Structure 1
Amino acid sequence: MDYYSQRKFLYHFKNVRWAKGRHETYLCYVVKRRDSATSFSLDFGHLRNKNGCHVELLFLRYISDWDLDPGRCYRVTWFTSWSPCYDCARHVADFLRGYPNLSLRIFTARLYFCEDRKAEPEGLRRLHRAGVQIAIMTFKAPV
């Protein structure tokens, strides 16, 4: 993966009311394995939409190639520039049903809404029912 500059990060992850020009979704991730009271970082990185494929689906394809041990617990944390659309939320919830030993936290910069303003909130509720912790990121500038 290429280097992700601070300037690019701040541009895409800034929580603004009108996110003009921000048509891509970026996803930074951390994958940890929990062993009793300790956890070990297994991987971290970032992805963005490619060729019309939403970034959430790219991550699911990526982690599907892993040989996750069903006897161990894994925690995935996403930091996204946009919250998932309804279809991606559905795919993520379905994916998590197949991996009860994997938990997901999503911190997002902005909520995504399409023309059907009822679909995206329902997708987020579906993720919540699947056990996903979802929160809006806040930005604190260094002092």
Structure 2
Amino acid sequence: MRKTFTALLALAAFAAAGVSAAPTLARERFGVRYEQIPAGAYSIVAHVQAKPGQEAALREVTLPLVDLVRGDPKNLVYFLQEDRARPGHFIFYEVFATQADFEAHNAMPYVKDWFDKLPALAEGGVQVMRMEVLGHGRPR
């Protein structure tokens, strides 16, 4: 208990000084490797909406993707999010160094399997925005 209190005091001190410990904690916990993200990295923002009554089923087949994709050495960042106001509306945020890395990810059996299940569970499939990461990053 005392260690937890001390850690909370340290975080409060960092916050008061304008220093955020959250990015460091996020990198350690989730393995986000910001220093490995090259300038111009290939990024995806995608969303899928469950059919009425299929929210839980879509969530059940989608949640395993988190560990599978994060375990892919070519994946640099992966977040699955669900809209609190619209259960069953999922947003994906993915970063790969190159488009080829992303295409290789989409060719994985577990991704193909997930896409095969979508027609029964989701309205209109997956809507995808293909993005480029801007800002600080190592040169390609």
Give the TM-score taking structure 2 as reference length. Answer: 0.36
Q: Which has the higher contact order (CA 8 A, sep 6+)?
A: 2
Bigger Rg over Cα: 2
Greater helix share, 1 or 2?
Answer: 2
Give the TM-score taking structure 1 as reference length. Answer: 0.35
